[in-house]
Protein backbone atom coordinates (compact mmCIF):
# COMPACT_ATOMS: atom_id res chain seq x y z
CA UNK A 1 0.00 0.00 0.00
CA UNK A 2 1.48 3.31 -1.06
CA UNK A 3 1.85 5.82 1.74
CA UNK A 4 0.13 9.12 1.18
CA UNK A 5 2.30 12.08 2.10
CA UNK A 6 0.66 15.47 2.45
CA UNK A 7 1.90 18.38 0.39
CA UNK A 8 2.85 20.43 3.49
CA UNK A 9 5.00 17.55 4.78
CA UNK A 10 6.77 17.26 1.42
CA UNK A 11 7.39 21.00 1.35
CA UNK A 12 8.72 20.95 4.91
CA UNK A 13 11.16 18.17 4.10
CA UNK A 14 12.32 20.01 1.00
CA UNK A 15 12.97 23.14 3.06
CA UNK A 16 14.94 21.15 5.63
CA UNK A 17 17.07 19.55 2.91
CA UNK A 18 17.69 22.92 1.31
CA UNK A 19 18.72 24.45 4.63
CA UNK A 20 21.11 21.61 5.42
CA UNK A 21 22.65 21.79 1.96
CA UNK A 22 23.00 25.58 2.19
CA UNK A 23 24.67 25.40 5.61
CA UNK A 24 27.10 22.75 4.37
CA UNK A 25 27.94 24.80 1.29
CA UNK A 26 28.49 27.96 3.35
CA UNK A 27 30.66 26.08 5.85
CA UNK A 28 32.66 24.57 2.98
CA UNK A 29 33.19 27.98 1.38
CA UNK A 30 34.36 29.42 4.71
CA UNK A 31 36.84 26.54 5.07
CA UNK A 32 38.11 27.05 1.51
CA UNK A 33 38.59 30.80 1.97
CA UNK A 34 40.28 30.22 5.32
CA UNK A 35 42.76 27.86 3.64
CA UNK A 36 43.30 30.29 0.76
CA UNK A 37 43.96 33.13 3.21
CA UNK A 38 46.70 31.05 4.82
CA UNK A 39 48.32 29.90 1.58
CA UNK A 40 48.13 32.89 -0.78
CA UNK A 41 49.79 36.28 -0.40
CA UNK A 42 53.04 37.90 -1.45
CA UNK A 43 54.49 34.41 -0.96
CA UNK A 44 52.44 31.32 -1.78
CA UNK A 45 52.81 28.27 0.45
CA UNK A 46 51.65 24.75 -0.27
CA UNK A 47 48.84 23.09 1.70
CA UNK A 48 51.39 20.71 3.24
CA UNK A 49 53.50 23.61 4.53
CA UNK A 50 50.45 25.34 5.98
CA UNK A 51 49.28 22.18 7.73
CA UNK A 52 52.73 21.68 9.25
CA UNK A 53 52.73 25.24 10.59
CA UNK A 54 49.24 24.87 12.04
CA UNK A 55 50.33 21.65 13.74
CA UNK A 56 53.18 23.53 15.40
CA UNK A 57 56.08 22.35 13.26
CA UNK A 58 58.83 24.73 12.19
CA UNK A 59 58.85 25.55 8.49
CA UNK A 60 61.45 28.13 7.36
CA UNK A 61 59.68 31.31 6.27
CA UNK A 62 56.20 29.87 6.62
CA UNK A 63 56.33 29.63 10.43
CA UNK A 64 56.42 33.40 10.74
CA UNK A 65 54.35 34.41 7.72
CA UNK A 66 51.61 31.84 8.21
CA UNK A 67 51.77 31.24 11.96
CA UNK A 68 52.29 34.80 13.17
CA UNK A 69 50.66 36.92 10.46
CA UNK A 70 48.14 35.05 8.35
CA UNK A 71 46.67 32.62 10.88
CA UNK A 72 45.61 35.21 13.50
CA UNK A 73 44.28 37.41 10.69
CA UNK A 74 42.18 34.62 9.20
CA UNK A 75 40.85 33.50 12.60
CA UNK A 76 39.94 37.08 13.44
CA UNK A 77 38.14 37.36 10.11
CA UNK A 78 36.06 34.27 10.89
CA UNK A 79 35.25 35.31 14.45
CA UNK A 80 34.41 38.95 13.75
CA UNK A 81 32.45 38.06 10.62
CA UNK A 82 30.41 35.47 12.53
CA UNK A 83 29.80 37.92 15.37
CA UNK A 84 28.66 40.69 13.01
CA UNK A 85 26.47 38.25 11.08
CA UNK A 86 24.79 36.90 14.21
CA UNK A 87 24.30 40.33 15.77
CA UNK A 88 22.91 41.82 12.57
CA UNK A 89 20.41 39.07 11.81
CA UNK A 90 19.20 39.05 15.43
CA UNK A 91 18.25 42.74 15.13
CA UNK A 92 16.78 42.33 11.66
CA UNK A 93 14.66 39.34 12.69
CA UNK A 94 13.54 40.84 15.98
CA UNK A 95 12.47 44.12 14.37
CA UNK A 96 11.23 42.54 11.11
CA UNK A 97 13.26 45.00 9.08
CA UNK A 98 16.47 44.47 7.05
CA UNK A 99 17.52 48.05 7.83
CA UNK A 100 17.69 47.29 11.55
CA UNK A 101 21.37 46.38 11.45
CA UNK A 102 23.78 47.62 14.15
CA UNK A 103 25.84 49.68 11.72
CA UNK A 104 22.71 51.43 10.40
CA UNK A 105 21.00 52.20 13.72
CA UNK A 106 24.01 53.69 15.49
CA UNK A 107 25.47 50.96 17.68
CA UNK A 108 28.69 50.68 15.67
CA UNK A 109 28.85 54.48 15.57
CA UNK A 110 28.84 54.54 19.37
CA UNK A 111 31.84 52.23 19.48
CA UNK A 112 33.60 54.30 16.81
CA UNK A 113 33.02 57.62 18.59
CA UNK A 114 34.30 56.20 21.86
CA UNK A 115 37.39 54.74 20.19
CA UNK A 116 38.21 58.06 18.50
CA UNK A 117 37.82 59.94 21.79
CA UNK A 118 39.95 57.35 23.54
CA UNK A 119 42.77 57.56 21.00
CA UNK A 120 42.82 61.32 20.30
CA UNK A 121 41.62 62.93 23.52
CA UNK A 122 42.44 60.44 26.26
CA UNK A 123 45.54 58.88 24.71
CA UNK A 124 44.50 55.33 25.60
CA UNK A 125 46.35 52.24 24.44
CA UNK A 126 44.77 49.58 22.24
CA UNK A 127 43.38 47.47 25.10
CA UNK A 128 41.77 50.39 26.93
CA UNK A 129 40.38 51.73 23.65
CA UNK A 130 38.72 48.39 22.93
CA UNK A 131 37.12 48.28 26.39
CA UNK A 132 35.85 51.82 25.96
CA UNK A 133 34.40 50.94 22.55
CA UNK A 134 32.56 47.93 24.00
CA UNK A 135 31.14 49.99 26.87
CA UNK A 136 30.04 52.77 24.51
CA UNK A 137 28.28 50.35 22.16
CA UNK A 138 26.33 48.90 25.08
CA UNK A 139 25.40 52.36 26.40
CA UNK A 140 24.32 53.62 22.98
CA UNK A 141 22.22 50.52 22.36
CA UNK A 142 20.52 50.98 25.72
CA UNK A 143 19.87 54.65 25.00
CA UNK A 144 18.35 53.90 21.59
CA UNK A 145 16.08 51.24 23.08
CA UNK A 146 14.95 53.54 25.88
CA UNK A 147 14.27 56.44 23.51
CA UNK A 148 12.29 54.22 21.17
CA UNK A 149 10.30 52.41 23.88
CA UNK A 150 6.70 53.46 24.19
CA UNK A 151 4.59 50.59 25.46
CA UNK A 152 6.83 48.31 23.43
CA UNK A 153 9.62 48.53 20.86
CA UNK A 154 8.41 49.71 17.46
CA UNK A 155 10.78 48.85 14.65
CA UNK A 156 10.29 52.02 12.61
CA UNK A 157 10.70 54.32 15.62
CA UNK A 158 13.84 52.49 16.76
CA UNK A 159 15.41 52.66 13.29
CA UNK A 160 14.71 56.38 12.90
CA UNK A 161 16.05 57.17 16.36
CA UNK A 162 19.08 54.98 15.69
CA UNK A 163 19.82 56.76 12.42
CA UNK A 164 19.59 60.11 14.22
CA UNK A 165 21.91 58.94 17.00
CA UNK A 166 24.35 57.60 14.40
CA UNK A 167 24.40 60.97 12.62
CA UNK A 168 25.09 62.75 15.90
CA UNK A 169 27.91 60.39 16.81
CA UNK A 170 29.46 60.68 13.37
CA UNK A 171 29.50 64.45 13.87
CA UNK A 172 31.39 63.91 17.12
CA UNK A 173 33.91 61.75 15.26
CA UNK A 174 34.37 64.42 12.58
CA UNK A 175 34.87 67.13 15.19
CA UNK A 176 37.50 65.11 17.08
CA UNK A 177 39.34 64.22 13.88
CA UNK A 178 39.78 67.92 13.09
CA UNK A 179 41.97 68.32 16.16
CA UNK A 180 43.84 65.01 15.88
CA UNK A 181 47.60 64.94 15.40
CA UNK A 182 48.92 63.22 12.29
CA UNK A 183 50.18 60.21 14.23
CA UNK A 184 46.81 59.76 15.97
CA UNK A 185 44.97 60.36 12.71
CA UNK A 186 46.62 57.38 11.04
CA UNK A 187 45.66 55.08 13.93
CA UNK A 188 42.11 56.44 14.07
CA UNK A 189 41.47 56.12 10.34
CA UNK A 190 42.75 52.55 10.31
CA UNK A 191 40.42 51.74 13.22
CA UNK A 192 37.40 53.54 11.75
CA UNK A 193 37.76 51.83 8.39
CA UNK A 194 37.71 48.32 9.81
CA UNK A 195 40.88 46.31 9.34
CA UNK A 196 42.43 42.96 10.20
CA UNK A 197 45.97 44.28 9.73
CA UNK A 198 46.87 44.26 13.42
CA UNK A 199 45.26 40.92 14.23
CA UNK A 200 46.77 39.18 17.24
CA UNK A 201 45.86 36.30 19.50
CA UNK A 202 45.24 38.74 22.36
CA UNK A 203 42.53 40.50 20.32
CA UNK A 204 40.83 37.22 19.48
CA UNK A 205 40.14 36.06 23.03
CA UNK A 206 37.36 38.57 23.87
CA UNK A 207 35.58 37.97 20.55
CA UNK A 208 35.81 34.20 20.97
CA UNK A 209 34.41 34.44 24.51
CA UNK A 210 31.59 36.71 23.32
CA UNK A 211 30.65 34.15 20.67
CA UNK A 212 30.80 31.28 23.18
CA UNK A 213 28.42 33.12 25.51
CA UNK A 214 26.11 35.00 23.14
CA UNK A 215 25.66 32.47 20.33
CA UNK A 216 24.02 29.85 22.60
CA UNK A 217 21.76 32.56 24.05
CA UNK A 218 20.56 33.48 20.56
CA UNK A 219 20.28 29.80 19.69
CA UNK A 220 17.94 29.19 22.63
CA UNK A 221 15.87 32.19 21.55
CA UNK A 222 15.81 31.22 17.87
CA UNK A 223 12.23 29.92 17.89
CA UNK A 224 10.95 33.02 19.66
CA UNK A 225 12.93 35.27 17.33
CA UNK A 226 11.45 33.53 14.32
CA UNK A 227 7.92 33.91 15.64
CA UNK A 228 8.46 37.63 16.24
CA UNK A 229 8.21 37.97 12.46
CA UNK A 230 4.47 37.47 12.97
CA UNK A 231 4.32 40.54 15.19
CA UNK A 232 4.26 40.83 18.98
CA UNK A 233 0.61 39.83 19.33
CA UNK A 234 0.95 36.84 17.02
CA UNK A 235 4.10 35.64 18.78
CA UNK A 236 2.53 36.08 22.22
CA UNK A 237 -0.50 34.09 21.09
CA UNK A 238 1.84 31.21 20.23
CA UNK A 239 3.38 31.25 23.69
CA UNK A 240 6.41 33.48 23.13
CA UNK A 241 7.45 35.67 26.06
CA UNK A 242 8.03 38.63 23.79
CA UNK A 243 9.81 41.06 26.10
CA UNK A 244 12.09 38.34 27.48
CA UNK A 245 13.08 37.26 23.97
CA UNK A 246 13.71 40.86 22.94
CA UNK A 247 15.85 41.71 25.96
CA UNK A 248 18.00 38.58 25.77
CA UNK A 249 18.39 38.91 22.01
CA UNK A 250 19.35 42.59 22.21
CA UNK A 251 21.93 42.02 24.95
CA UNK A 252 23.48 39.08 23.09
CA UNK A 253 23.48 40.85 19.71
CA UNK A 254 24.91 44.10 21.06
CA UNK A 255 27.62 42.20 22.91
CA UNK A 256 28.63 40.36 19.74
CA UNK A 257 28.77 43.53 17.66
CA UNK A 258 30.57 45.48 20.38
CA UNK A 259 33.37 42.94 20.85
CA UNK A 260 33.76 42.40 17.11
CA UNK A 261 33.99 46.16 16.59
CA UNK A 262 36.52 46.50 19.39
CA UNK A 263 38.70 43.83 17.76
CA UNK A 264 38.62 44.86 14.11
CA UNK A 265 36.81 48.19 13.95
CA UNK A 266 33.35 48.74 12.47
CA UNK A 267 33.71 46.59 9.35
CA UNK A 268 31.05 48.24 7.21
CA UNK A 269 27.84 46.48 6.21
CA UNK A 270 28.76 42.93 7.27
CA UNK A 271 26.04 42.91 9.92
CA UNK A 272 23.69 44.46 7.37
CA UNK A 273 24.47 42.08 4.47
CA UNK A 274 24.85 38.71 6.18
CA UNK A 275 21.20 38.16 7.11
CA UNK A 276 19.57 39.06 3.77
CA UNK A 277 22.15 37.03 1.83
CA UNK A 278 21.67 34.04 4.12
CA UNK A 279 17.88 34.33 3.76
CA UNK A 280 18.15 34.07 -0.02
CA UNK A 281 20.52 31.12 0.20
CA UNK A 282 18.61 29.14 2.83
CA UNK A 283 15.08 29.96 1.76
CA UNK A 284 11.97 30.79 3.80
CA UNK A 285 10.93 29.31 7.10
CA UNK A 286 14.35 28.42 8.53
CA UNK A 287 16.38 29.95 11.33
CA UNK A 288 18.97 32.34 9.91
CA UNK A 289 21.33 32.40 12.88
CA UNK A 290 23.89 29.80 11.76
CA UNK A 291 23.67 30.66 8.03
CA UNK A 292 24.14 34.35 8.85
CA UNK A 293 27.17 33.63 11.04
CA UNK A 294 28.74 31.61 8.22
CA UNK A 295 27.82 34.26 5.65
CA UNK A 296 29.36 36.99 7.80
CA UNK A 297 32.58 35.01 8.18
CA UNK A 298 32.67 34.35 4.44
CA UNK A 299 32.10 38.02 3.60
CA UNK A 300 34.96 39.16 5.81
CA UNK A 301 37.37 36.50 4.53
CA UNK A 302 36.56 37.20 0.88
CA UNK A 303 36.69 40.98 1.31
CA UNK A 304 39.98 40.85 3.20
CA UNK A 305 41.54 38.54 0.60
CA UNK A 306 40.33 40.78 -2.23
CA UNK A 307 41.62 43.90 -0.51
CA UNK A 308 45.01 42.33 0.12
CA UNK A 309 45.72 40.49 -3.14
CA UNK A 310 43.22 41.11 -5.96
CA UNK A 311 42.79 44.88 -6.33
CA UNK A 312 46.31 45.98 -7.16
CA UNK A 313 46.54 48.21 -4.07
CA UNK A 314 46.02 46.97 -0.54
CA UNK A 315 42.74 48.09 0.98
CA UNK A 316 41.44 47.42 4.50
CA UNK A 317 38.60 44.94 4.66
CA UNK A 318 36.10 47.66 5.64
CA UNK A 319 36.71 49.52 2.37
CA UNK A 320 35.78 46.44 0.34
CA UNK A 321 32.70 45.56 2.40
CA UNK A 322 31.59 49.20 2.24
CA UNK A 323 31.87 49.12 -1.55
CA UNK A 324 29.68 46.00 -1.57
CA UNK A 325 27.18 47.12 1.04
CA UNK A 326 26.36 50.62 -0.17
CA UNK A 327 24.87 49.49 -3.52
CA UNK A 328 22.92 46.75 -1.72
CA UNK A 329 21.45 49.34 0.65
CA UNK A 330 20.40 51.55 -2.26
CA UNK A 331 18.87 48.58 -4.09
CA UNK A 332 16.94 47.60 -0.98
CA UNK A 333 15.55 51.11 -0.56
CA UNK A 334 14.57 51.37 -4.25
CA UNK A 335 12.91 47.95 -4.22
CA UNK A 336 10.95 48.79 -1.08
CA UNK A 337 9.90 52.17 -2.44
CA UNK A 338 8.61 50.56 -5.65
CA UNK A 339 6.74 47.94 -3.65
CA UNK A 340 5.12 50.68 -1.62
CA UNK A 341 5.51 48.79 1.62
CA UNK A 342 7.55 48.78 4.77
CA UNK A 343 10.89 47.08 4.90
User: What tens digit of pLDDT does each residue of 263-315 get?
Assistant: 888 898 899 889 888 988 887 767 889 999 999 999 999 999 998 888 777 88
Residue 164 lies in a domain: yes
CA distance 272 to 269: 5
Does residue 73 lie within any of the structural domains?
Answer: yes
Model confidence at 336, pLDDT cuts 50, 70, 90, reads low
CATH number for the domain spanning 183: value is 1.10.3470.10
Torsion of CA 238, 239, 244, 246, to 10 degrees: -10
Residue with the larger pLDDT of the pair 261 and 124: 261
Q: What is the pTM of this model?
A: 0.88
For residue 35, tell me if it sits in a domain: yes
- Identify the weakest region by mean pLDDT among 106-110, 169-173, 232-236, 288-292: 232-236
Mean pLDDT, the chain, whole residue set: 83
What distance lies between CA 158 and its chain's CA centroid? 19
Q: In 10 A of CB 52, how many CB atoms?
A: 18
Q: Is 1 within the bounds of a domain?
A: no
Residue 248's pLDDT is: 87
Q: Please check whether residue 258 lies inside any domain of the structure.
A: yes
* 65-103 pLDDT, tens digit each: 888 889 999 999 999 999 999 999 998 888 887 777 887
| pLDDT above 50 (res 341) | no
Angle between helices 7-39 and 289-305 (to 10 degrees): 30
Angle between helices 182-193 and 155-178 (to 10 degrees): 160
pLDDT at 161: 87
Cα separation, 166 vs 172, whole angstroms: 10
Q: What share of the chain is helix, strand, coil (3-state, %, to 5)?
A: 75, 0, 20
Give the per-residue pLDDT at 101. Answer: 80
Is 2 inside any structural domain? no
Domain count, the chain: 1
pLDDT at residue 231, as a whole number: 72
In this prediction, residue 215 has a pLDDT band, given cuts at 50, 70 and 90, of very high
Domain that residue 252 falls in: 7-339
Task: Quote the CA–CA distance of 273 and 256 in Å, as a whole number.
Answer: 16
Q: What are phi and psi of 302, to 5 degrees?
A: -65, -45
- On whether the CB atoms of residues 173 and 112 are closer than 8 A, the answer is yes
**58: pLDDT strictly greater than 60:** yes
Amino acid sequence: MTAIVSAPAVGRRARIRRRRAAVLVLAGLVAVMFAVALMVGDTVYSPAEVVRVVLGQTVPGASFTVGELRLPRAVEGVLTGAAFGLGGVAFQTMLRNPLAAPDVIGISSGASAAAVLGIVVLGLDAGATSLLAVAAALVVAGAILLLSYRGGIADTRLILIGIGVAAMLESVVAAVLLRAANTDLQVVMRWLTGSLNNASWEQLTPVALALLVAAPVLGVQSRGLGLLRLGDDGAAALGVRVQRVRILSVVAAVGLVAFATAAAGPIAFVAFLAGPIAARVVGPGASLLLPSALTGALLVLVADFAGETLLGTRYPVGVVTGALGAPFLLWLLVRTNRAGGAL
